[in-house]
Amino acid sequence: MKLFKVAALGSVAVVALSGCGLGSGGSSAASSKVQQSVDSSAKLSGTISFQTWALKNDKFTPYFTKLIADFEKQHPGTTINWIDQPGDGYADKVSSEISSNSLPDVVNLPPDIAYAAVKAGALLNLAKSDPKINQTYVKSGLSDYTYKGVDGTYAYPWYLGTDVSYWNTDILKKAGIDQSNLPTTFDGLVAAAKKVHDATGGKQFLMSRKPNLYDIMSTGAPIMNSDGTKFTFNTDAAAAMIGKYADAYKAGYMPREVLSSDYQGNDTLFKKQQVGWTTSTGYYITSLKTDNPTLVPKVIGSPAIGLAPLYSQGISVSAKSKNPALALAFAQFVTSNANQTAFVGVAKGFLPGTQAAQSDPRFTTSDGTPAGNAAVLGAKTLPKAKSLGAPQWDQQDSDYLDQQIALAMTGKQTPKQALDNAVNKANSLLSK
């Protein structure tokens, strides 16, 4: 059994994906016709099902009710049956739907669950049926549903997220750090962390987290080989980066509890003003107005240090839909620029996965405030943001890497040993 950490708007959940479900497909599914491509010019009629993930609630139901009504009005004779699944157990639910040949015609999937569905032959290759897909959607979003060793693209990018750096200016001032010349590299971050440590006598910090797989990718390390069959991120450059984290930890530039079970998390410590740097979406300062209004005047944003991560949700079409033309048309309608823009107006902090939104003043023009500047910065970052490109990487892999890095940061093994162990463990799990 593999564990996948996946996030939907309504929840953040660790879900189990059974190897006997999505990975192998079922006999009933295999007996159904698989669509290779769809005639997008076909007349639309009939009924399809549309499945979302933890979105039927007071906040989002009015949006989807109108969305479906608008589509049915534009296409008389069509009916969209909306299904919503709870946040917990979504991968298991999708697995069950595929095995029982009941996957909805149009379905909301994150990249990792979509990958497992693709391996089971359950999703339509949208690139074959939509010749404008690369001109309509952002490349970064499409890349999340284009897998190594698999031909095609298997979801329309729907709502996307990326990170911006945030700084507490009170802490920066104490350390004499120029707010107009904030760190843009990891080495610069460590140097600034030393200044904060020295200026506050070790009572406040700038950094408060261990490195993760994104930090490793930022060193240029390939997460997997070219055909996606082996993890390969145990490079000397990645080991050097972890070594610098270890040195910073030993020097006291990070809270001691970073490596303990008492660690509250970087965001919590930032909100308590115990650390001066965190990362979040472009909506973070605006959200602080509710969560911690006294902190808002002290916070400014800057570009992400290293690679900006990409968080994606997509809309896929079942390869075994009995009404593929209607399913494809509705998937395109849900992910149109107008409807995505309206959706992120409700789903604050996320951005549309369309190219048209990249020049929309609503996402590219700041009101001049730090909150507005950060929101624009997030939008500008999105086309350059990258995912790990390794949907096989799961929570079990992540937890083991975390343990190995902690051992390296306390000097109980070398950074290279930590990476070698993590790669060997991940490849071992991959082969099961």
pLDDT score at 35: 63
Rg (CA), the chain: 23
Please tell me the predicted confidence (pLDDT) of residue 349.
86
Which tokens sit at 146?
Answer: 């284009």
Note the pLDDT of residue 1.
33
CATH class of 46-162+310-384: alpha beta
b/e 20-49 (16+ beta carbons within 10 angstroms → b)? ebbeebbeebeeeeebeebeeeeebeeebb
Q: Taken in order 134, 140, 144, 149, is the CA torsion positive or negative?
A: positive
Q: What is the pLDDT of residue 119?
A: 93
Is the CA virtual torsion 145, 399, 265, 291 positive or negative? positive
List per-block mean pLDDT (blocks of 10 residues) for the chain, which spans 432 residues.
Answer: 42 35 35 66 93 96 98 98 95 96 97 94 95 95 93 96 96 96 95 97 94 94 93 98 97 93 89 95 92 94 93 96 96 97 92 92 92 93 90 92 96 97 96 81
CB 287 within 8 A of CB 349: yes
pTM above 0.75, yes or no: yes
Tell me which architecture the domain covering 164-309+390-431 has in CATH.
3-Layer(aba) Sandwich (3.40)
**pLDDT recorded at residue 262:** 83
Q: What are phi and psi for residue 269, nearest 5 degrees?
A: -65, -35
CATH 3.40.190.10 boundaries in the chain: 46-162+310-384, 164-309+390-431
Are 423 and 233 a contacting pair, CB within 8 Å? Answer: yes
> What pLDDT sits at residue 14?
35
CA 199 to chain centre: 36
